[in-house]
Structure 1
């Protein structure tokens, strides 16, 4: 496993990329000081209820006006982006792969922005450093991240009847969003970012969840449903939505 000093230095550089990338660390087997909570199923279900209330208030509607599956999809997309972003940056910048279980994560389930996240400093698996080829890193990210905590996160949305197709699209959108932010922050790493991201999107976990338009733009093959949270279900569509034309 990566040493605490190496992990700390990596997380510090990653945090400089922006709030979706920033994470804290804590010693494994301990709890970080402060108002941190485990990312447990009950708290994830409570998160969906909180997002439902937040969406309703934003549109001047009662909470019952928001379909539970809409709130679940929106909550899932935000958390997927939060988990994917530092993991992709760690792979691109340092050739390291985040390999935590969902139970290893600690978070502060605040609304209105990227949730604060803390990981045990041994959450990085072993790696060969930034010289690791994109194919190897994408394969390990697929197994350790997409088939790990991201699958657990999607499974936690089961009680809300949100389609697995939508959840896979959310994850693909989170991967593309993280790559877009990473390329903007570190343009000299664009080639490596694109290589790893493309392999992730074409890998077993996300294959057919998205497509590339003739102009090179990313387009998911599903909708996150957020447009349905607006009064009358007439909200704006996201730029990468399958319904956008």
Structure 2
């Protein structure tokens, strides 16, 4: 979203400069605070029930900063999704490489799915809540995310599975497998509250999260091998 050409309201000379008047480094911090605060509030309350005044107050800035960086509330909402999401199809290269072994592909696949858990500047649960809120109260951005990212990633994973199963084209069973593999990680992402309540140490450090990734790859390989054995028996 391009910033407006006009500047926010000028403060009196005796007052400290507003966030949007500070040097770029401070401005970028202010912009990111607005994004993180907006993601949290939009996720909790939805788009229509969240005001720009609430967002600005939570971010420690003023409403003029939202206009300066994002144009309006709709622009800020769209920027929240751009902040969270990769460019269209951008995650595919992490796991769909012809020279990758199956395990390397699965490691890359789960690596990009679990990246939010390792982010320092925002929280995975905040991002997930915003996605869920958009699914419940759609504005059109979730449909765009499905078309631009989720669908290409699914089809790329299907291609990886077909390659390692020795299939020329995908069957419904391959699609089922490709839906089941991410489901293992989605369950982890949406169950963080449960995991933290029962076994908090299992998400408390980057090393613990990495171990989750290793186990998910093991589980996905087991699913793949079960499907491969089923095809062999059928043949």
TM-score, structure 2 normalization: 0.27
Structure possessing the higher relative contact order (Cα contacts under 8 Å, 6 or more residues apart): 1
Between structures 1 and 2, the one with greater helix share: 2
Larger Rg: 2
